[in-house]
Chain A
Amino acid sequence: MEAAIDPSAVIDNAFVEQVRHDMLAFAQLQLRDATLAEDAVQEALTAALTGGRDFAGRSALKTWVFGILRHKIVDLIRQQSRTTPISAFGGDDDSLDQAFDTLFKENAHWHPAHRPATWGDPEASLRDKHFWAVFDACLTHLPKNTARVFMMREFLDLDTGEVCAAAGISTSNCHVILHRARSALRGCLEKGWFLAGERPC
């Protein structure tokens, strides 16, 4: 019954602008380079809109262009890791390890002051727009190498083998970086959201 809708009827300028905005945010988070992100988005949009493909509405188009963008981002990361390899150690990423180490006593068990607490009602948090602002800020604060590897895994939805290959690093370094990213984000969400209202004691 449902015929393909004429793309020009649903793809107006405002819609394209919104999609472009979301794509830029997505690309920028992962590439951490405004020019590269801009180019990737432009290429993906051009490919999508000149592909001569029919879309049954806006969400199908959005899914399609993000699919193209995803491939472009992975290609770019792959190219970049050939010239400037992602290193598991050094740079800003080391400061995350130092911060993580302070959570533990000498015997590698939690320091009582830093032992992870229960997060109350996380499901409600995921429905709260203020939570997403904190989440966004936490992602943006991740150092570049850590962010790239983590986002390939979680936002580009690659499996660990693909992530390591694209980043040009060993599996064990991959795991080190992913753990570092998760610990940093966990700490950031705890400080910025889940325990933000509580008094320090």
Chain B
Amino acid sequence: MLNCKDATHRMSEAEDRDLGLTERLELSLHLALCRGCRNYQQHLHVLRDACRGYREELTGGEAEGSGTKR
């Protein structure tokens, strides 16, 4: 059973890599029972959207691949 601290690590890693089946199940089970961590997950999504918005505002569009096109 995941504790909350481990769950925050798991949620952050989910932003950066595909979680394995067991990892996902453990996280889902924890989230089902824990409102604090569900909120934490919402906050990570807001943060991701904010980063994207910030980047687009500053760079005038998607950063990815824009410099490599010919």
Contacts and interface: CB of A to CB of B under 8 A. Distances in A.
A189 interface: yes
Contact of A154 (B51, B59, B68): B51
Interface in B8-54: 8-9, 12-13, 15-17, 34-37, 39-40, 42-44, 46-54
A118 B59 CA distance: 31
Given A22-B59, A67-B67, A108-B4, A116 B36 contact: yes
Contacts of A125: 46
Interface in A100-158: 104, 107-110, 115-119, 122, 125-126, 132, 135-136, 139, 153-157
Contacts of B48: 154
Given A126-B50, A182-B44, A70 B16 contact: no
15 contacts: A62-B61, A67-B67, A104-B4, A109-B4, A110-B36, A115-B36, A116-B39, A119-B39, A155-B51, A155-B54, A157-B62, A160-B17, A179-B12, A185-B47, A186-B40
Given A66-B67, A175-B16, 20 more contacts: A59-B60, A63-B66, A66-B58, A66-B60, A67-B68, A109-B3, A109-B5, A115-B36, A116-B37, A118-B39, A119-B39, A125-B46, A136-B54, A154-B55, A157-B62, A159-B16, A179-B8, A183-B12, A185-B47, A186-B43
